[in-house]
Structure 1
Amino acid sequence: MTTHADRIPAYQTGTWTIDPVHSDVSFVVRHLGVTRVRGTFDHVEGTIVTHEDPLQSEVTAVIQTSSVNTRNDMRDDHVRTADFLDVEKYPEMTFKSTGIRVKDDVYLIDGDLTLRGVTRPVTLETEVGGFGPGMQEGHTVVGFSASTEINRSDFGVTGGTAGAAVSDKIKITLDIEAGRS
Structure 2
Amino acid sequence: MSGTITARVTTSGGRALDGAVTTVMSQTGEQCAVVRADVEGTVTVGELPSGTYTVVTTSEGYQPSARVAVLTGAGSIGLGEITLSRAGGAPVPTPGRWEIDAGHSAIEISVRHLGIATIRGRFADFSGCLEVTDDIELSSVVAEIKTASIDTDNSMRDQHLRSSAFFDVEQHPIAEFRAARVTPATGESWTLPGTLTLRGTAVPVTLDLSYLGEVDDPWGQRRAGFRATGTLRRNDFGISFDDKLLTGVAQIGGTATVSLDIQAVRTDN
TM-score by length of 2: 0.63
Letter of the 2:200 partner, please give it.
G
Aligned with 2:203 (options 113, 116, 120):
120
Q: Which runs of 4+ in 1 moved over 6 A?
A: none
Q: Distance in 2 between matches of 1:76 and 1:43?
A: 14
Residue 233 (structure 2) pairs with residue 151 (structure 1): yes
2:256 aligns with: 170
Q: Is the 8 A contact 1:84 1:160 kept in 2?
A: no
TM-score by length of 1: 0.92
Structure 2 unaligned runs (5+)?
Answer: 1-11, 13-84
Q: Distance in 2 between matches of 1:39 and 1:135?
A: 31
Residue 219 (structure 2) pairs with residue 133 (structure 1): no
Q: Distance in 2 between matches of 1:152 and 1:42?
A: 20
Q: Distance in 1 between matches of 2:86 and 2:217?
A: 26
Cα–Cα, structure 1 residues 3 and 165, in superposed 2: closer, same or farther, change >3 Å? closer
Q: Is the 8 A contact 2:86 2:184 kept in 1?
A: no
Q: Deviations over 1:1-50 (max 9, x none)?
A: 7568x6216x3111011001011000110011110000001111001011
Residue 266 (structure 2) pairs with residue 180 (structure 1): yes
Number of residue pairs the alignment of both structures matches:
178
Q: Which stretch shows the higher mean deviation, 87-96 or 162-171? A: 162-171
Q: Is the 8 A contact 1:30 1:37 kept in 2?
A: yes
**Residue aligned with 2:182, SS:** strand
How far off is 1:162 after superposition?
7.6
Residue 146 (structure 2) pairs with residue 64 (structure 1): yes
Which protein is richer in helix relative to its size?
1
Identity of aligned residues (%): 33
Residue 119 (structure 2) pairs with residue 37 (structure 1): yes
Letter of the 1:180 partner, please give it.
R
Q: Is the 8 A contact 2:216 2:223 kept in 1?
A: yes
Q: Distance in 2 between matches of 1:63 and 1:117?
A: 13
More contact order relative to length (CA 8 Å, sep ≥ 6): 1
Q: Distance in 2 between matches of 1:162 and 1:78?
A: 16
Question: Aligned-pair RMSD on alpha carbons?
Answer: 1.9
Residue 193 (structure 2) pairs with residue 110 (structure 1): yes
**Residue aligned with 1:99, SS:** coil
Q: Which stretch shows the higher mean deviation, 63-72 or 128-137? A: 128-137
Residue 181 (structure 2) pairs with residue 95 (structure 1): no
Q: Distance in 2 between matches of 1:71 and 1:60?
A: 28
Task: Please tell me whether Structure 1 or Structure 2 has the larger radius of gyration of its CA atoms.
Answer: 2
**Residue aligned with 2:99, SS:** strand
Q: Which stretch shows the higher mean deviation, 69-78 or 95-104? A: 95-104
**Residue aligned with 2:206, SS:** strand
Q: Deviations over 1:119-167 (max 9, x none)?
A: 0101110010111212312x10111000000100110112364894100
Letter of the 2:160 partner, please give it.
H
Q: Is the 8 A contact 1:134 1:179 kept in 2?
A: no
Letter of the 1:167 partner, please give it.
G
Structure 1 unaligned runs (5+)?
Answer: none
Q: Is the 8 A contact 1:98 1:112 kept in 2?
A: no
Q: Is the 8 A contact 1:133 1:140 kept in 2?
A: yes
